[in-house]
Each structure stands twice: as structure tokens, then as C-alpha cells.
Amino acid sequence: MILRFVGLCAGILLVFSIAIFVTIGMGGVSAADQQLTGPVCVADGNTVRFDSNEDGQCNRGTTVTIAGLLTPDIHTSEGMRAAAALARIVGGRPIACKGLQTTSKPSIEARCSNAAGQDITQVMGGEGWQTAHF
């Protein structure tokens, strides 16, 4: 009887260990649950780059396109205004982006909020910048 109990416990432990291994091996967290948080550089009106070494340079780090935000090209006067608006909303403080999705571009698309917890797409939309509906 004791041997059966020990065998049953060992079996349960083995199944539990395999479940943990598979979960960790597969990343453990879906892309939609992942989050990036930290200081960013504003690259254009709907793109930020997490500064990997916090040197203030926009040439490194993870690029995130803010989901639902459609702004003019940075090489236009409206695009520069959009980038300035995004920089003001970010306010030079860390932001949080979650619901990460890879895109065809070399970037990630995500919903982002500023340090005050405001959804950046909603704030930009409230200021008249074009947004997409989800």
C-alpha cells in the first residue's frame, strides 16, 4: 500500500514537472501578456524605441509601433507635429507597452500607456490624430 502511494506521488510529481518544463520551454507567457516598460525615444508620431542603454539615442533598442495610431510620415510637417505631440504625451518618462504583436516591419506593435497610465492612442486621438478602431 505504501509503495502504491509513493508510486502515485512520484507519478504526479513527474507529470507536474513536465507541465512546468513545457510551459517554461514555450515561453510561459503569450505575446499578448508580455510587457515592455522603460524610457523611450520617440522615433515618429506612432513609433517609440525603448532605449536599451538609456543614453537618449534613438538608434538602439526595441522598436514599438503604437497600436491603433495612424500618423503622417515623419518627413512631413504634419508628421513632425505628430512626433512632437507624442513626445509631449510621453513626457520624457518611462512608458508601458503590452499586448505585443510582431509585424512585417522590424518592430513590435503594442498598446502603450504613459507614466500617468493614460492610453497613448486615446490621448493622441483626443487631440485629433487619426486612430484605428479595435
Mean pLDDT of 51-74: 81
pTM of the model as a whole: 0.71
Split at pLDDT 50, 70, 90, the class of 87 is very high
Split at pLDDT 50, 70, 90, the class of 57 is low
Residue 38: CB atoms within 10 A of its CB come to 14
CA distance 43 to 91: 14
Q: Is the dihedral of CA 113, 115, 117, 119 positive or negative?
A: negative
How many residues does the structure list for the chain?
Answer: 134
Domain spans in the chain, listed from the N-terminal domain onward: 1-28, 34-131
pLDDT at 34: 80
3-state secondary structure of 66: strand
- Residues 108/109/110/112 CA torsion (nearest 10 deg): 90
CA distance 37 to 110: 12
Region for 21 from its dihedrals, namely left if φ exceeds 0, alpha if ψ lies in -120 to 50, beta otherwise: alpha
What is the per-residue pLDDT across 3-18, written as a single tens digit (0 to 9) for each? 454 444 444 433 333 3
Domain 34-131 sits in CATH at 2.40.50.90
What is the per-residue pLDDT across 21-39, written as a single tens digit (0 to 9) for each? 333 333 444 555 689 999 9
CA distance 85 to 28: 36
Determine phi and psi for 63, rounding to 5 degrees: -90, 130
CA distance 122 to 108: 19
